[in-house]
Structure 1
């Protein structure tokens, strides 16, 4: 289909210098609106975004020049220049119109005319940014500020005295202003600072198309560097100078076309100069650009975002490599030093002896990355070597994955253990990792449309590998004592690296990614020639990589039955060690906010208990009486050491239920007992431990039991912005509540400070001291992010002994637990235990409940609770 671009606006050929009348302004405003509407229509009909941005730039240039002439006439000693993107001739639907006036003299009449000119441009609907300077000021500012100097590189005269064009060009061409080395340094510093604002990754959930890593600003920067350092005005010129090869130029141009298309569509959808692909727009943009859902694990919006991530990643990778080439270009010549039989070292860069090495012997593509690991002081490859890596990778393509020598070299790299991870990152930057491992290429840029997975699958996988490598670093021992203790005992760390590579490699295919990933891992292990037992171990880790996390977060790991079942599923110590390391690395690599002291403690406890179970010939001690006795003895020893009398402790414990000793650690029992003894019987007793043995802030509530107590406590916790990780709701034999809550700060997901713990203790004590202490959940607005991920709740009931188990899976929102607790009050239901787990925007909570006679819920009461929950959650959703 041929799309005709809208014509350029027709303006009068001669304009009297009399300013712009109201009628003329109205006509120009209408003209500009007609241009924008025609361009928007052409875009929706399939016209190229770059061509349309140029057409809008041309149209606005004519209008701006027309207004200049109307206000200033054919003036001497002053000229109007377009700068920024406008200077490059591109103007997106809502981009600013950046202008520079270069004037030799600041005459009052001229300044008044300029004010009228800019006011007119604003009045007709253009967002104008402008500066007025004389040539000397322009030179001085350019010398002080590289961004001002850079803006002049794109300057384009629109109107006014042509002689001033030469004045501007003289500033740009002056070798004393920002010489190549200084200009490269300041541009790289600006790049690093800009990237740091976006977490040093192109894979943010709401990326910035313009300024984020791999965004359009990166492409602009490459052109600026090419112009200043190599006198190359564009990518074609950089190819001629040897800074790019034709394939790299094509890659950059294709990526730029994608980013410009997305940016054009985003401006139109947002109705303003929005540069962030916010959740507010992603689904609408995907539909507008023709992306459709294939299945629930490959949504149209995910395909749309994958297009962005792939383009941005290509730009970021090549941007880093081209910057290295500029650095090499400015380095003084170095004498070559031989490194092995096939490579040379030029200062801090590696090169090939034989230009055809990679084509003649493809395994050298991997070997050069291995070699770099053992060469101190190496910062990269020469520009020629980088180019030859890319050319050979493109030449062989998927054939590299079946080359036995390449696979042997890849296995040799993996056997380096932790150092191999950096090499894998570098191979990925050069596109080599996806060639050796084609399945990895399929998840390149693959995102998941939720708040739990904050990185694309490929970025997540590489971060998991880096987390694994941290366990080999002695400096990480204080943060990961168990993991760092396990690492030196691994006989084959390459098996863990392979499991990390494959654990999510089947995402987006439509089936269970763990099952499909297991098949991929087995096939690749066979191609590597690994022994059958090694392949089985890698495949098991991939298949069950979520098992430990799910068990720890969703089940009661203080229950020996839970631990025993987990131990039976794991089967042996080596699997346990590797699964523990992979689980930690996976959680941290999914989102920085997911890892906290509570999860650290949970996994450590499950690991320790399972290791005991695997090491013992007998099953874990599952006899309840024996476990109660062991806990009491250990707790008593702690209390006696602190000076408490045994008789006082036994009096308190006379009223404790057995479940207290079965579900709490001795340290917790001792802490609760000491608090009760010190209180002298005063209630309500509220005790807060800022940092407990469970890696959380622990809250203990000891007060006469009543229905609705759990709801009152959770409502207060919500008001104080605490997240509940776990709750144990027990009753003493004399009718006292023995309720324990494990908490983290909602914002930071960290335990509370001493001041916050004291605030919690005082506020909750005052609340529960009131005769009728009922508290409704607070009403807070839902975050913008959460609004886009709200789904209908899923509620299920099941029988667990003398209790009913409620499983609630729903979208997160402010005050959720408090709303659920209030629904239980509405349905006259008691809570006895709670396990709270949040995964991004998805909540998976489990409660052990009963009716008010402590009997399991019947069908009628289950239905009553179901409707109460739906009503409360719906109300919470509407309140948000």
Structure 2
């Protein structure tokens, strides 16, 4: 596009200074390049071929760079100019660097140093993000020896102002005979790829993936090109077919996915308006709209776009792994195979089919995974066998159309050694999606929120992975009771099936639990499982959220809550399965989601429900009976610590009676010990570490009651960097309070010690409470894109209090701000349950309004409306 190159037009008036002339030329070049880019953007939006756009933009920049060279560098100068890196490859994205190499002998580069400085200044002033190096041939060789990334940039050097002789000289200076022979180059680039993948968690399924550097991204495709060029002598994918390194179908697939990734990257540069390779939340919706995606069938446009990315990255990873193996074989030669059985052998540690025409039947596909499971550790699947498997997938039946023998083989995998490893391999190689078509539909499916950090298929595999860990028999301190529950399972494969199907109906519209339960039942019956086994799996999928919601949103210290939950579960077999599924589901949703508080909640609910089922549902535990049992347990603990029996009775008289109905014996004994030497009416603060959970703390505050006390405690804990998970606020004798908080560090890298928190809180509470205010914080970037319209609801509780339910966008300091608002409105908090699901906060408070006579009353409609208005103002960002 010659229009990008500004003509050296004269101007009226006095002659301009050379610097002024360069500035005027650069301004015209900048303007004309912007016009050209606008044209390219319009063509992108019109769905023009992405490779042509990249090439034509590179050509447009070529013309500008060459014109600047002619303007600044004397014709007789012994300097050569090359485009290198991605620009040298002849593809240039809207915000990519323009990498240049000036090749010259030291004397020539020194003689023209001012000319080169002028050139680079003009190019920068023209709006080009130029990266440049000035080297001699020898320096090119030295730099390539020292840094393989320099070599890869030079491998694709393209002359801009250089002759054929100079091009060949540069090629010779970095040839395999001089630097990085094929074997060393291959090993270095393979290790570089592995290390780069590790930096991104070895998965493409990140919420904000890097389109260039992340696993399965464009850098992976470029790495394959570089290795092919060094090892085979060509970077052309079509040529690799002729060399026997790739099949035509593999070339077609990787080229298709490369173009899909390139289109995403080009669009990302356009919507970001700057150099950006990470597909951040800031740009995902904008890019999806620009690419023409629309919300459809219960699936957001952004989710459709991201599913396309994840599937593209998965295919790039799959084919890239095969090609790396073939390059290795090209360099090292074929090794003597090690036969394993009639169908399979090991080749250099890779599992391979012995017959070149494998597989002859679907049963041989499942036989592959059976043999693989029995072999323990291997280097992976041989590339030729992986390709043969991919080619056989269209003929592999789904479970509904399979014969009984194939179904028995699949159940054998579930019941055999390392069933989760087999399922994971089947999923990554596309077999599981063929066997269960519903699984294919959720492969690569993301949910645009901060709660689900994996795609549905990767989350499912993570859940199964936790189940495999539970089965190992090794006690994991993060999960209090799974080592007790797992051995009780009659058929562990039923739990695996529930994990496999629990989210399989995501994205269909409707309740995914209900739809998934129907799928699970149909699968189990088709597989020949008995009615009772199918019914268990169906129930687990249908109710897989029941235990989590009960534990996090209800008061599991309330015997009525336990009785209702036990009635819904009905028997201990269901309870064991549901507890294990719930632990794995929460832990497999996000690395940050599982914590000490959730572990304790689920363990307490599990234990209390087992007790209720053992007693019999027709004999629910009454509140007084629960209180009496807890009192005796606390008494035994305190006497065991050396307290006299008479002292225990006196201590109990200072503690709230309702605490023995709601609290745990160890907790109450700890609180009682703290009160033993405290004078009546004094303030007592105790903080202790939750056993086996680093950073998780339990905080106890006993104090004379005062207005704003709850808000002051919450604000102090917030300022200490602690996130409150649960708060229990009890009224004690003599107008005192017994507040207990379960807290975890908001940032696990800076978890405060129990002693430091205790000192800080004790100091704060002896001063003026009105001086303790919530900290002001800015909203984190990622939360700005996940705004939830606040929902506030009021209900009358049975105990003369009002239940306030609040659903809104979570943010740092949210609870402290809400507590301050309650304080300003004259509310007293008696109980609080704090639940956070990604960006979504769901908090429940039991509150009363203080009346003029000093008594606590439930909120009348006027007070409810006033509080609702104040909370909305707080949540919208106003100061409480």
1:782-833 CA-partner distances (Å, limit 9, x unpaired): 1011111122111122222122222111110122112221222233222111
Query: Unpaired segments of 5 or more residues in structure 1?
Result: 1-5
CA distance in 2, matches of 1:813, 1:518: 35
User: Are the aligned partners of 2:467 and 2:584 in contact in 1 as well (CA < 8 Å)?
Assistant: yes
For 2:204, the equivalent position in structure 1 comes to 202
Matches for 1:315-714 after TM superposition, within 5 Å? 315-358=316-359, 360-376=360-376, 378-396=378-396, 402-416=402-416, 419-480=418-479, 482-617=481-616, 622-681=621-680, 683-691=682-690, 696-714=696-714
CA distance in 1, matches of 2:585, 2:222: 36
- Aligned to 1:263, which of 265, 282, 292? 265
CA distance in 1, matches of 2:364, 2:829: 64
Q: Relative to structure 1, is the Cα distance of residues 209 and 772 closer, same or farther in structure 2, using a 3 angstrom cutoff?
A: closer
1:147-184 CA-partner distances (Å, limit 9, x unpaired): 11111211111113432211221134324522333222
Matched position secondary structure for 1:106: helix
Q: Report the Cα offset of residue 624 of structure 1.
A: 2.3
Q: Is residue 295 of structure 2 the alignment partner of residue 293 of structure 1?
A: yes
Q: Relative to structure 1, is the Cα distance of residues 67 and 771 closer, same or farther in structure 2, using a 3 angstrom cutoff?
A: closer
Q: Report the Cα offset of residue 596 of structure 1.
A: 0.8
User: Are the aligned partners of 2:6 and 2:29 in contact in 1 as well (CA < 8 Å)?
Assistant: no
Worse-superposed segment, 315-324 or 448-457: 315-324
Q: Relative to structure 1, is the Cα distance of residues 76 and 7 closer, same or farther in structure 2, using a 3 angstrom cutoff?
A: closer
- Aligned to 1:248, which of 238, 246, 250? 250
- Aligned to 1:851, which of 832, 849, 852? 849
User: Are the aligned partners of 1:401 and 1:435 in contact in 2 as well (CA < 8 Å)?
Assistant: no
User: Are the aligned partners of 1:94 and 1:273 in contact in 2 as well (CA < 8 Å)?
Assistant: yes
- Aligned to 1:238, which of 237, 240, 253? 240
Q: Report the Cα offset of residue 647 of structure 1.
A: 2.7
Q: Report the Cα offset of residue 13 of structure 1.
A: 12
CA distance in 2, matches of 1:110, 1:7: 28
Q: Report the Cα offset of residue 641 of structure 1.
A: 2.1
Q: Report the Cα offset of residue 75 of structure 1.
A: 4.4
Q: Report the Cα offset of residue 469 of structure 1.
A: 0.9
CA distance in 2, matches of 1:48, 1:709: 65
CA distance in 1, matches of 2:150, 2:28: 35
Q: Report the Cα offset of residue 38 of structure 1.
A: 1.6
1:242-261 CA-partner distances (Å, limit 9, x unpaired): 33222222221221112111
CA distance in 2, matches of 1:428, 1:519: 21
For 1:171, the equivalent position in structure 2 comes to 173
Q: Report the Cα offset of residue 332 of structure 1.
A: 4.3
Q: Report the Cα offset of residue 195 of structure 1.
A: 1.7
Worse-superposed segment, 708-717 or 234-243: 234-243
User: Are the aligned partners of 1:255 and 1:314 in contact in 2 as well (CA < 8 Å)?
Assistant: yes
Matched position secondary structure for 1:658: coil
Q: Relative to structure 1, is the Cα distance of residues 330 and 564 closer, same or farther in structure 2, using a 3 angstrom cutoff?
A: farther
- Aligned to 2:143, which of 141, 144, 153? 141
Figure out how many residues of one structure are paired with residues of the other and give that number. Answer: 865
Matched position secondary structure for 1:796: strand
CA distance in 2, matches of 1:23, 1:790: 47
Query: Unpaired segments of 5 or more residues in structure 2?
Result: 11-17
CA distance in 1, matches of 2:2, 2:492: 64
For 1:769, the equivalent position in structure 2 comes to 766
Matches for 1:734-749 after TM superposition, within 5 Å? 734-748=734-748
Matched position secondary structure for 1:173: coil
User: Are the aligned partners of 1:560 and 1:620 in contact in 2 as well (CA < 8 Å)?
Assistant: no
For 2:164, the equivalent position in structure 1 comes to 162
For 2:279, the equivalent position in structure 1 comes to 277
Matched position secondary structure for 1:471: helix
Matched position secondary structure for 2:856: coil
Q: Relative to structure 1, is the Cα distance of residues 737 and 622 closer, same or farther in structure 2, using a 3 angstrom cutoff?
A: same
- Aligned to 1:221, which of 211, 223, 231? 223
For 2:13, the equivalent position in structure 1 comes to none
For 1:84, the equivalent position in structure 2 comes to 85
For 2:111, the equivalent position in structure 1 comes to 109
Matched position secondary structure for 1:744: strand
User: Are the aligned partners of 1:77 and 1:161 in contact in 2 as well (CA < 8 Å)?
Assistant: no
User: Are the aligned partners of 2:204 and 2:215 in contact in 1 as well (CA < 8 Å)?
Assistant: yes
Q: Relative to structure 1, is the Cα distance of residues 856 and 23 closer, same or farther in structure 2, using a 3 angstrom cutoff?
A: closer
Q: Relative to structure 1, is the Cα distance of residues 372 and 856 closer, same or farther in structure 2, using a 3 angstrom cutoff?
A: same
Q: Report the Cα offset of residue 343 of structure 1.
A: 2.4
Matched position secondary structure for 1:561: helix
Q: Report the Cα offset of residue 423 of structure 1.
A: 2.0
Matched position secondary structure for 2:772: coil
User: Are the aligned partners of 1:8 and 1:58 in contact in 2 as well (CA < 8 Å)?
Assistant: no
- Aligned to 1:780, which of 771, 777, 780? 777
User: Are the aligned partners of 2:447 and 2:455 in contact in 1 as well (CA < 8 Å)?
Assistant: yes
CA distance in 2, matches of 1:488, 1:522: 24
CA distance in 1, matches of 2:509, 2:592: 27
For 2:186, the equivalent position in structure 1 comes to 184
For 1:810, the equivalent position in structure 2 comes to 808
Worse-superposed segment, 762-771 or 685-694: 685-694
Worse-superposed segment, 820-829 or 832-841: 820-829
User: Are the aligned partners of 1:700 and 1:741 in contact in 2 as well (CA < 8 Å)?
Assistant: yes
- Aligned to 2:834, which of 830, 833, 836? 836
1:669-691 CA-partner distances (Å, limit 9, x unpaired): 11112212222336222222233
Matched position secondary structure for 2:874: helix
Q: Report the Cα offset of residue 435 of structure 1.
A: 0.9
Superposition RMSD on alpha carbons, in Å?
2.5
Matched position secondary structure for 1:634: helix
For 2:66, the equivalent position in structure 1 comes to 65
CA distance in 2, matches of 1:186, 1:518: 49
For 1:312, the equivalent position in structure 2 comes to 313
CA distance in 2, matches of 1:523, 1:76: 78
CA distance in 1, matches of 2:372, 2:876: 58
Q: Is residue 724 of structure 2 the alignment partner of residue 724 of structure 1?
A: yes
Q: Relative to structure 1, is the Cα distance of residues 622 and 615 closer, same or farther in structure 2, using a 3 angstrom cutoff?
A: closer
Q: Relative to structure 1, is the Cα distance of residues 529 and 730 closer, same or farther in structure 2, using a 3 angstrom cutoff?
A: same
CA distance in 2, matches of 1:372, 1:857: 65
User: Are the aligned partners of 1:402 and 1:527 in contact in 2 as well (CA < 8 Å)?
Assistant: no
CA distance in 2, matches of 1:364, 1:635: 62
Q: Relative to structure 1, is the Cα distance of residues 43 and 573 closer, same or farther in structure 2, using a 3 angstrom cutoff?
A: same
Q: Report the Cα offset of residue 657 of structure 1.
A: 2.2
TM-score of the superposition, structure 2-length normalised?
A: 0.94
Q: Report the Cα offset of residue 646 of structure 1.
A: 2.9
For 1:3, the equivalent position in structure 2 comes to none
User: Are the aligned partners of 2:480 and 2:603 in contact in 1 as well (CA < 8 Å)?
Assistant: no
For 2:51, the equivalent position in structure 1 comes to 50
CA distance in 2, matches of 1:106, 1:411: 75
User: Are the aligned partners of 1:79 and 1:162 in contact in 2 as well (CA < 8 Å)?
Assistant: no
Q: Relative to structure 1, is the Cα distance of residues 168 and 423 closer, same or farther in structure 2, using a 3 angstrom cutoff?
A: farther
Matched position secondary structure for 1:701: strand
Matched position secondary structure for 1:679: coil
Q: Report the Cα offset of residue 8 of structure 1.
A: 6.5
CA distance in 1, matches of 2:805, 2:615: 34
User: Are the aligned partners of 1:471 and 1:480 in contact in 2 as well (CA < 8 Å)?
Assistant: no
